[in-house]
Amino acid sequence: MADKSSSNAYWAANIRIILISLVIWFACSFGLGIILRPALKGIMIGGADLGFWFAQNGSIYVFIILIFTYAKMMGKVDAEHGVEE
Amino acid sequence: MDQFTLNLIVVGATFAIYIGIAIWARAGSTAEFYAAGQGVHPVLNGMATGADWMSAASFISMAGIIALAGAGGYQQSAFLMGWTGGYVLLALLLAPYLRKFGKFTVPEFIGDRFYSGGARLVAVICLIVISVTYVIGQMRGVGVTFSRFLEVSTDTGLYIGAAIVFAYAVLGGMKGITYTQVAQYIVLIIAYTIPAIFISLSLTGNFLPQLGLIGGYAPTGGDVTMLAKLDSLVTELGFTAYTADSSNMFNMFLFTMSLMIGTAGLPHVIIRFFTVPKVADARSSAGWALVFIALLYTVAPAVGAMARLNLTTTFWPGAVTGSALSAPAVSLADIESKPELSWINTWKATGLLNYEDKNGEGMIQYFNEPKAVAAANKALGEAKKALADAAADADKAALETAVTDATTARDAALAEAKLGDKTLAEMGLVGNELTKVDNDIMVLANPEIAALPGWVIALVAAGGLAAALSTAAGLLLAISSAVSHDLIKGSINPNISEKGELLAARVSMGVAIAVATWLGLNPPGFAAQVVALAFGLAAATIFPALMMGIFSKRINKEGAILGMIAGLVFTAVYIFMYLGWFFVPGTATYANTPDNYFFGISPLSIGAIGALVNFIVAYVVSMATKAPPQEVVDLVESIRVPKGAGKAQAH
**Co-location of B334 and B474 in the same domain:** no
What pLDDT does B649 receive?
47
B596 burial (CB, 10 Å; 0-12 / 13-18 / 19+) is middle
**Co-location of B412 and B329 in the same domain:** yes
- The answer to whether B601 and B566 are in contact (CB under 8 A) is no
What pLDDT does B112 receive?
96
> Considering the domain boundaries, does residue A10 fall inside one?
no
What pLDDT does B651 receive?
42
Task: Name which of B91, B301, B642 is nearest A67 (Cβ-Cβ).
Answer: B91
**Co-location of B357 and B456 in the same domain:** no
Distance of CA B74 to the CA centre of its chain: 17
Element (H, E) at B461: helix B454-481
- The answer to whether B141 and B468 are in contact (CB under 8 A) is yes
Q: Of B405, B439, B473, which residue constitutes the final position of a domain?
A: B439
> Considering the domain boundaries, does residue B430 fall inside one?
yes
What pLDDT does B208 receive?
97
What pLDDT does B650 receive?
41
Using a CB-CB distance cutoff of 8 angstroms, which residues of chain B are in contact with residue A67?
87-88, 91-92, 283-284, 286-287, 290
B455 burial (CB, 10 Å; 0-12 / 13-18 / 19+) is middle
- The answer to whether B145 and B461 are in contact (CB under 8 A) is yes
Distance of CA B311 to the CA centre of its chain: 23
What pLDDT does A2 receive?
43
What pLDDT does B352 receive?
84
Query: Longest C-alpha distance within chain A, in Å?
Result: 55
Can you give the CATH number for the domain in which B570 is found?
A: 1.20.1730.10
- With a cut of 80, say whether residue A1 has pLDDT above it: no
What pLDDT does A29 receive?
97
Nearest by Cα to B277 from B102, B128, B515, B134? B102
Q: How far is A33 from chain B (nearest CA, A)?
A: 9
> Considering the domain boundaries, does residue A39 fall inside one?
yes
**Which of A6, A15, A60, A73 to probe the B interface (max B CBs under 10 A)?**
A60
Query: Structural domain of residue A30, as residue ranges?
Result: 18-80
For chain A, first and last CA: distance in Å? Answer: 11
CB-based contact A67 B283, cutoff 8 Å: yes
* Rounded distance between C-alpha atoms, residue B467 and residue B68, angstroms: 22
> Considering the domain boundaries, does residue A48 fall inside one?
yes
What pLDDT does B3 receive?
85
**Co-location of B289 and B223 in the same domain:** yes
* Rounded distance between C-alpha atoms, residue B556 and residue B624, angstroms: 10
CB-based contact B214 A59, cutoff 8 Å: no
Chain pair A-B, CB pairs under 8 angstroms: 148
CB-based contact B81 A48, cutoff 8 Å: no
CB-based contact B214 A47, cutoff 8 Å: yes
Between the CA of residue B579 and those of B525, B592, B613, B650, what are the distances in Å? 12, 7, 21, 44
Q: What is the DSSP string of B388-453?
A: HHS-TTS--HHHHHHHHHHHHHHHHHHHH-EETTEEHHHHT--S-S--EE-TTHHHHTHHHHTT--
In our burial notation (b when 16+ CB lie closer than 10 A, e otherwise), range B61-79 reads bbbbbbbbbeebbbbbbbb
**Co-location of B151 and B79 in the same domain:** yes
> Considering the domain boundaries, does residue B301 fall inside one?
yes
Residue pLDDT, tens place only, B246-298: 989 999 999 999 999 999 999 999 999 999 999 999 999 999 999 999 999 99
**Co-location of B263 and B380 in the same domain:** no
**DSSP 3-state assignment of B364?**
strand
Q: How far is A8 from chain B (nearest CA, A)?
A: 9
- With a cut of 70, say whether residue A3 has pLDDT above it: no
* Rounded distance between C-alpha atoms, residue A21 and residue A18, angstroms: 5
Residue B244, Cβ neighbours under 10 Å: how many?
A: 17
CB-based contact B88 A67, cutoff 8 Å: yes
- The answer to whether B216 and B225 are in contact (CB under 8 A) is yes
**Which of B87, B88, B252, B285 to probe the A interface (max A CBs under 10 A)?**
B88
Query: Longest C-alpha distance within chain B, in Å?
Result: 86
**Co-location of B259 and B384 in the same domain:** no
**Co-location of B424 and B469 in the same domain:** no
What pLDDT does B411 receive?
93
Q: How far is B253 from chain A (nearest CA, A)?
A: 7
Query: Structural domain of residue B416, as residue ranges?
Result: 322-439
**Co-location of B458 and B595 in the same domain:** yes
**Co-location of B502 and B360 in the same domain:** no
DSSP 8-state secondary structure symbol assigned to residue B29? S
Instruction: Write the ipTM.
Output: 0.95
The ranges of chain B with pLDDT < 70 are 525-529, 645-651
> Considering the domain boundaries, does residue A33 fall inside one?
yes
Residue B510, phi then psi, degrees to nearest 5:
-60, -45
- The model carries a pTM of 0.93
**Co-location of B255 and B330 in the same domain:** no
Residue A45, phi then psi, degrees to nearest 5:
-110, 100
Q: How far is B290 from chain A (nearest CA, A)?
A: 6
> Considering the domain boundaries, does residue A1 fall inside one?
no
> Considering the domain boundaries, does residue B566 fall inside one?
yes
* Rounded distance between C-alpha atoms, residue B408 and residue B413, angstroms: 9
Q: Residues B25, B30, B31, CA angle at the centre, nearest 5°? A: 75
Task: Please name every residue paired with B418 in a beta bridge, in sequence order, or none if there are none.
Answer: B423
Number of domains in chain A: 1
Give B63's Cβ-side CA count (13 Å radius): 29
* Rounded distance between C-alpha atoms, residue B288 and residue B440, angstroms: 28
Q: What is the DSSP string of B277-315?
A: SSHHHHHHHHHHHHHHHHHHHTTHHHHHHHHHHHHHHHH
Number of domains in chain B: 2
Between the CA of residue B248 and those of B152, B532, B599, what are the distances in Å? 43, 19, 10
**Co-location of B464 and B521 in the same domain:** yes
